[in-house]
A and B are shown apart, each in its own frame.
Chain A
Amino acid sequence: MIVRIIFLVLCAVGILTGEARAQLFLEDGKKILAVSGGDHLNGSLLIHNTSSAPADVRVYWEDFEYQPPYDGTKNFLPAGTAPSSASQWVSFSPQIFTLPAFGRQRIDYTVTVPSQIQEGHYGVLFFERNSDSLKNQEGITLVTRVGCLFFVEPKDKTKKAVLQDIALKANSITASFVNQGNVVLIPRTTYYIMQEGGLVLLRGDIGKRYVPPGASGQLEIPLKKKLDPGHYTLVVNSDLEEGDVVVKEIGLAADASGQLTIENSQD
């Protein structure tokens, strides 16, 4: 009985802590829409208030752009200011509402694509909790928001990229992932180093990159151990999802001192 009471008390503490922490929860943080010119799409998002206090919420659109080093860092911009903005295509309702304690709200959106779509268009729908502003006091007003990223991309999109500018750095090999397509590419890159006999000596993966069209993201492959003298092949494989890959084979040679040189590279 005592154990049961202790368990219930701990559960109650956990629930209270959770209430204090979680407030706005958006079920779907990313919408990837494949569209054709003239399409008219409808959808909805669901936002929850996971706290015991009501929350006034404002919904608005902003543009975003991935920023160098393209590790996911984003620059948020006013609606309609980014070259690839989708703000003119998206409408949504409601734009202001009150979420009751532990309540939820559905937000309907419509995407109206113009007659032609040449490249990917992007933006983020933000849900911002209204804050009590400081009145006649010195201090900081906290504002929190969650967002759903919208990727509106042509059905016949071009996913094309190259790995170039292969170079040696101290204890690593660098390469540039250049997006030559018309949509944001999100490569997940893996690599391995083979000996001449085909034995794999080293393998690993590089964190995802988020590379807009025309941009170049830097990839760095760490060489965790010194290679014995000989010839090696480094295979770099960037998975672009949906079956698309970019592969680069790089010939390496290590001399007696362990010094590496790049012998050749091919796609």
Chain B
Amino acid sequence: MKTILSLIAGGLFLLFQAVPVWAVQTAFTVSATIPDATGIGMTVSSVNSSTNTFTTQPAGTTALSFDPMTFNSTSKIYLPDHYFALDIGVTGGSGSPDTTVTYTEGANPNNGTSHPNGLGHKSTATFAKEVAGSTGATVETLLTAHGPKKRLTDLSGEHVAFTEVSGGFLRIYLGIWTGSTTSPADPTNGEPFSNTDVAGQYNGSLLVTAVVN
């Protein structure tokens, strides 16, 4: 009898010991919210027109000069010895920022003449998707939905969706219109710098915007 009572007492003791353990069992909800982050960064390279050699410009470069422009006696137009490659990286976190590109004409010495077009008509932007290859070089796909080559003056809210460059990044080549017919050909509605243009500095600004949808 004593043994039975001892066992019951022991069982009750263990039960009461265990109850507090059950009582502190709590279900915790674990969560994390990642916002629609948006980031933009650029790498600017100057590209030698003859050799296509890229020279990365210092971080934060924002002034892209085509000078010196030299006269080509064969084609009778002014040409630079370089163009630019603008690599645009948009960062999204869980967001997917799109890129919008808009050109605004700046100084234009041709203003007020019978041929008033400025740099926007005499320069081009070529849109491409770049994907890093195994050898360090990038694999390029021209974005035909964006021309792939347009006059800068035609860039008004040019919208490149995040999905168009997913897995890679957007590259925009900026150059002076030469009339090239080699693919991707210069747009036929562009025009060169020639001796019919008023002497002086021609410039403009390119606004690159990254926002989510």
Residues of A within 8 A of B (CB): 19-30, 48, 50-53, 55, 67, 71-76, 124, 126, 129, 131-134, 136-149, 186, 207-208, 210
Contact = CB atoms under 8 A, between A and B. Distances in A.
A132 B41 contact: no
A139 B39 contact: no
B40 A138 contact: no
B111 interface: no
Contacts of B17: none
Contacts of A19: 59
Contact of A139 (B65, B89, B95, B210): B65
Interface string B110-131: 0000000001000100000000
A194 B86 CA distance: 48
Nearest to A75: B157
A51 B201 contact: no
Contact of A140 (B64, B97, B159, B212): B64
Interface of B is mostly: strand
A21 B43 contact: yes
Interface string B159-174: 1010100000000001
B97 A29 contact: yes
Q: Which of A20, A50, A51 gathers the greatest number of chain B CB atoms within 10 Å? A: A20
Interface string B171-210: 0001000000000000000000000000001111111111
B36 A28 contact: yes
Contacts of B210: 144-147
A72 B98 contact: yes
Most buried by B among A73, A136, A144, A186: A144
A141 B106 contact: yes
Given A138-B203, A141-B203, A51 B59 contact: yes
Contacts of B159: 72-74
Nearest to A142: B62
Interface in B62-109: 62-67, 69, 84, 86-87, 89, 91, 93, 95, 97-98, 100, 106
Contact of A144 (B42, B66, B106): B42
Contacts of B87: 21
A25 B39 contact: yes
B205 A136 contact: no
A219 to B, nearest CB: 17
B26 interface: no
A25 B205 CA distance: 22
B61 to A, nearest CB: 8
B35 interface: yes
A122 B38 CA distance: 18
